[in-house]
Structure 1
Amino acid sequence: MNRADFHKLTEIRIKEAKVLLDRKCYEGAYYLAGYAVECALKACIAKETKADDFPPRNANELYTHDLTALVNKAKLTDELQERILRVVQFKSNWAAVKDWKEIKRYEYPIDSKRAKDLYRAITTSRNGVLSWLKKYW
């Protein structure tokens, strides 16, 4: 997969999350919203390679679903910390997003508040996590 693939997947997954939220399918919405952030971070990592490709499977440390680890691999740790210190709303949004895990796809029930809070933390245009990541992808 390459950077463009991850861009597209990010947009698809966040749209799917919205559809599921609107249909009160909170478990799927929660999972896909977090997965969109994972894809955006992997686009940032792919940008660091010569061909914009995601590194091969033997770079196992990149094949994680841990968002904080992916921030580190994308070399965005300093930028993230700076943004958290400067923007209170972003700090709150990152706090809602950072603990998402891929294993959440097996978790139920997830209530509407939790799913909506995650979606908003990701998609808020001014200080959402996704708008911040798009500056680096």
Structure 2
Amino acid sequence: MAQDEVPDKTVVNDFYTHRLDKLLGISGVKAALETRAGFEPDFQVNWNTVRDWNETSRYDHSTTEAKARDMLVAVADPNSGF
């Protein structure tokens, strides 16, 4: 996009979201993520864990300790973490 070009409103709104699928699309890395997930089962598992997160998830009192640990592993794994 050119410096003096006004971006599409949908794109601007997508910047102000916590939806990972939208942010990955804007950043241009969605295709690479999908390719990697297709070749690396552990990465796919971690992506499946992380992609459902949203800004209200942290306030969900029904979240179990196991689910919280899964999220930590999915994000922090040095080899296949998201």
Query: Same fold per TM (> 0.5)?
Result: yes
Q: Does 1:120 find its partner at 2:70? A: no
How far 1:113 sits from its partner (Å)? 0.2
Deviating runs (4+, > 3 A) in structure 1?
A: none
Within the candidate set 111, 115, 124, 2:64 is matched to 111
Letter in 1 for 2:76: T
The structure, 1 or 2, with the larger RCO (C-alpha pairs under 8 Å, 6+ apart) is 1
**1:12-31 correspondence runs (5 A):** none
Q: Which has the higher helix share?
A: 1
Deviations 1:20-56 (A, max 9, x none): xxxxxxxxxxxxxxxxxxxxxxxxxxxxxx9xxxxxx
TM-score, scaled relative to structure 2 = 0.81
Q: Does 1:81 find its partner at 2:34? A: yes
Deviations 1:92-135 (A, max 9, x none): 00000000011113310321100000110110000100xxxxxx
Work out the percentage of aligned pairs sharing the same amino acid: 29
| Structure (1 or 2) with the larger CA radius of gyration | 2
Which blocks of at least 5 consecutive residues in structure 1 are unaligned? 1-49, 51-58, 130-137
**Count of aligned residue pairs for this structure pair:** 73
CA distance in structure 2 between the partners assigned to 1:88 and 1:105 by the alignment = 26
TM-score, scaled relative to structure 1 = 0.50
CA distance in structure 2 between the partners assigned to 1:111 and 1:61 by the alignment = 30
Which blocks of at least 5 consecutive residues in structure 2 are unaligned? 4-11
CA RMSD of aligned residues (A): 1.7
